[in-house]
């Protein structure tokens, strides 16, 4: 089924907080679309975190379904963007979900870590959630690159899959995948541009998760997600662009 104009607009909303807020403030039909978009956008990160927290695929699936239902039923209506990063808000919501489940069953589910802290005690650098969030951002950046620049996507993907691939072999592989001639020089250019475009898109994803973010907010978030070094070039280009526009 083709996406409606409303769905397309919702998928282009600038920040996660805006999407969450619109999911509860738009007219019922559009609000429902925004809620579905919110679930779909962060499904990967939520699933990874829940599986890492409970160590039980069936329970993780059950908790994900409960999370999705809460979102679709408007259960996050009280979210407040002034409280900080969307990543932190989502992590705390999921931790509450796990603790609520434990209370309902009266004991820790099979496989649940015995040292799982209460939501208020969760540290900002919680490794399971940080890893899940980082992976989700990168998955979105890969998907955006594939959609916007298929040739750059294929060049970067070929390099990631085989870092030792020569330019000549990369050219041959890209010619097959793209269905057009490709020289070794073309392959090198595509790879260089693919790297630049990917990190630009990755920074875009980070910015969408931060409310009213400054450059320092983005830098701090990149460092916490262990993406600072990878995205240095993108941040330099953005800084240079601002200076030239000033």
DSSP 8-class letter at 170? H
| pLDDT beyond 70 at 120 | no
Candidate from 3-17, 44-58, 163-177, 201-215 with smallest mean pLDDT: 3-17
- Between 41 and 126, the higher pLDDT residue: 41
Length of the chain: 246
pLDDT-based confidence at residue 79 (cuts at 50, 70, 90) = low
Contact 165, 159 (CB under 8 A): yes
Residue 12 has what pLDDT?
38
Closest CA to 54 of 129, 118, 109: 109
* Structural element, H or E, at residue 103: helix 86-105
| Burial (0-12, 13-18, 19+ Cβ within 10 Å), 75 | middle
- Between 8 and 80, the higher pLDDT residue: 80
DSSP 8-class letter at 2? P
Work out the percent of the chain whose per-residue pLDDT is above 70: 73
Closest CA to 14 of 184, 236, 206, 161: 206
Residue 51 has what pLDDT?
87
Measured distance CA(24)–CA(18) in Å, rounded: 10
pTM for the whole structure: 0.69
In whole numbers, what is the pLDDT of the chain averaged over residues? Answer: 78
Candidate from 17-26, 135-144, 228-237 with smallest mean pLDDT: 17-26
Measured between alpha carbons, how far apart are the two ends of the chain, in Å? 45
Measured distance CA(192)–CA(4) in Å, rounded: 36
Contact 155, 174 (CB under 8 A): yes
Structure tokens at 147: 């959609």
- For 222-243, the pLDDT digits (tens) are 998 889 988 998 999 888 887 7
pLDDT-based confidence at residue 16 (cuts at 50, 70, 90) = low
Measured distance CA(144)–CA(225) in Å, rounded: 20
- Between 35 and 23, the higher pLDDT residue: 35
Measured distance CA(174)–CA(171) in Å, rounded: 5
Residue 5 has what pLDDT?
40
| pLDDT beyond 70 at 178 | yes
Q: Which residues of 130-153 are buried (b: 16+ CB within 10 A; e: fewer)?
A: bbbbbebbbebbbebbeeebebbb
- For 140-175, the pLDDT digits (tens) are 899 999 999 999 999 999 999 998 999 999 999 999
Distance, C-alpha 140 to centroid of its chain: 6
Residue 70 has what pLDDT?
80
Work out the percent of the chain whose per-residue pLDDT is above 90: 28
Residue 4 has what pLDDT?
42
Contact 48, 131 (CB under 8 A): yes
Residue 87 has what pLDDT?
80
Candidate from 104-113, 126-135, 191-200 with smallest mean pLDDT: 104-113
């Amino acid at each position: 089924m083709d996406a409606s104009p409303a769905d397309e607009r919702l998928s282009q909303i600038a920040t996660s907080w805006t999407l969450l807020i619109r999911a509860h403030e738009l007219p019922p039909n559009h609000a429902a679309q925004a809620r579905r978009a919110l679930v779909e956008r962060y499904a990967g990160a939520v699933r990874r975190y829940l599986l890492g927290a409970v160590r039980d695929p069936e329970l993780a699936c059950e908790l994900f379904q409960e999370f999705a239902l809460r979102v679709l039923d408007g259960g996050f209506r009280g979210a407040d963007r002034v409280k900080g990063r969307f990543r932190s808000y989502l992590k705390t919501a999921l931790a509450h979900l796990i603790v609520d489940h434990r209370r309902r069953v009266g004991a820790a589910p099979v496989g649940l870590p015995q040292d799982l802290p209460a939501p208020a005690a969760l540290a900002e650098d919680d490794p399971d959630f940080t890893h899940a969030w980082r992976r989700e951002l990168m998955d979105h950046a890969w998907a955006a690159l594939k959609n916007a620049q298929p040739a750059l996507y294929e060049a970067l993907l070929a390099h990631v899959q085989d870092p030792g691939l020569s330019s000549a072999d990369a050219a041959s592989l890209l010619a097959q995948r793209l269905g057009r001639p490709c020289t070794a020089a073309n392959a090198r250019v595509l790879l260089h541009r693919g790297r630049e475009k990917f990190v630009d898109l990755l920074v875009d994803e980070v910015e969408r998760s931060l409310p009213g973010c400054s450059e320092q907010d983005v830098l701090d978030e990149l460092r916490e997600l262990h993406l600072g070094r990878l995205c240095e070039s993108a941040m330099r280009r953005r800084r240079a662009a601002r200076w030239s526009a000033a």
